[in-house]
């Protein structure tokens, strides 16, 4: 990937429910500056950044007096849009990746196709509805929004696990690692779009 074409993006998204700004660098070092007002979610986004090596700055103000739903979902939307913007026409990327990721008793599989065609397959069940005050159902909502707006075909399956925190964290780390691999520049075809159709934008 040419140094004169950095894979970076910045955007803002403001609604009656949230006000979010996002900056990403796909060729970063996994540095993050995350502030959403939702502590557990901040921790997960830091893991996503660190293990994908995508530098991320995410600042969000949302209607947390209602619940965390709008903030989590809208962060997924904004982050997905920023990744799509940074990718441009998706030229020169590896495109595909899959991985099994272990954390203590939990094992989660993630696979991604950076296809431009959004789709989420989610086979994750949590043993409890909450992690602290965080609703575990919001993990899926985040990845649904991320896949939809980044243009990812994303499959996530928890194979086993007993601790809800560990299951959630393996989901974020597994997705991070497949993004790291799939978004990487392919040295064998640095200027080619990896598709016989000649496009990865839908």
DSSP codes, 127-164? SSSEETTEETHHHHHHHHHHHHHHT-EEEEEEEE-S-H
Domain extents for the chain?
8-182
The correct answer on CATH 3.30.230.40 for the domain covering 8-182 is yes
Q: What is the pLDDT of residues 107-165, one digit of tens each?
A: 999 999 999 999 999 999 999 999 999 999 999 999 999 999 999 999 999 999 999 99
Q: What is the pLDDT of residues 34-78, one digit of tens each?
A: 999 999 999 999 999 999 999 999 999 999 999 999 999 999 999
Determine how many CB atoms are found less than 10 A away from the CB of residue 78. Answer: 24
19-23, 110-114, 193-197, range with the lowest pLDDT = 193-197
């Amino acid at each position: 990937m040419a140094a004169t074409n950095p894979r970076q993006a910045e955007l803002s998204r403001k609604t009656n429910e949230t006000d979010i700004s996002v900056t990403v660098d796909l060729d970063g070092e996994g540095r993050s500056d995350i502030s959403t007002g939702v502590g557990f979610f901040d921790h997960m986004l830091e893991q996503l950044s660190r293990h994908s090596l995508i530098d991320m700055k995410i600042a969000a103000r949302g209607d947390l007096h209602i619940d965390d739903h709008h903030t989590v979902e809208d962060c997924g939307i904004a982050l997905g849009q920023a990744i799509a913007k940074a990718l441009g026409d998706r030229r020169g990327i590896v495109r595909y990746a899959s991985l099994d990721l272990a954390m203590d008793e939990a094992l989660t599989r993630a696979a991604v196709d950076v296809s431009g065609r959004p789709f989420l397959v989610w086979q994750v069940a949590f043993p409890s509805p909450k992690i602290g005050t965080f609703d575990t159902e919001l993990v899926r909502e985040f990845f649904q929004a991320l896949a939809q707006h980044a243009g990812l075909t994303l499959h996530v399956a928890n194979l086993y696990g007993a601790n809800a925190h560990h299951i959630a964290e393996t989901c974020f780390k597994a997705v991070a690692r497949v993004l790291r691999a799939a978004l990487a520049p392919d040295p064998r075809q640095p200027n080619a779009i990896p598709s016989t159709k000649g496009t990865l934008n839908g």
